[in-house]
């Protein structure tokens, strides 16, 4: 029973880091997406920081629920 939450935490961390990294490093699809929605590139950086911060919070026991939401 210990391994299921750990596996989920690892999977969520991977997803958040991959998505945040794609936004932070300027993958063309992300740049085009944020340009299309009209919020500008500053919002791409904000969402990247939020996603990377959430990945880090998953590993802090007191804040893992906050990081997952």
User: What are the residue boundaries of the structural domains of the chain, listed by start?
Assistant: 3-68
Contacts of 39 (CB under 8 A, 6+ apart): none
What are the tens digits of pLDDT across the range 21-51? 999 999 999 999 999 999 989 999 999 999 9
Confidence (pTM): 0.85
Q: Estimate to the nearest angstrom the gap between the alpha carbon of 23 and the chain centroid.
A: 9
pLDDT band of 61, cuts 50, 70, 90: confident
CA distance linking residue 32 with residue 1, whole number of Å: 42
pLDDT for 48-57, tens place per residue?
999 999 999 9
Per-residue model confidence (pLDDT) at position 2? 82
């Amino acid at each position: 029973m210990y391994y299921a939450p750990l596996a989920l935490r690892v999977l969520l961390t991977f997803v958040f880091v991959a998505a945040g990294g794609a936004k932070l490093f300027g993958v063309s699809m992300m740049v085009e997406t944020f340009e299309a929605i009209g919020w500008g590139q500053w919002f791409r950086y904000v969402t990247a920081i939020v996603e990377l911060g959430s990945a880090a919070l998953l590993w802090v026991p007191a804040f893992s629920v906050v990081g997952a939401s």
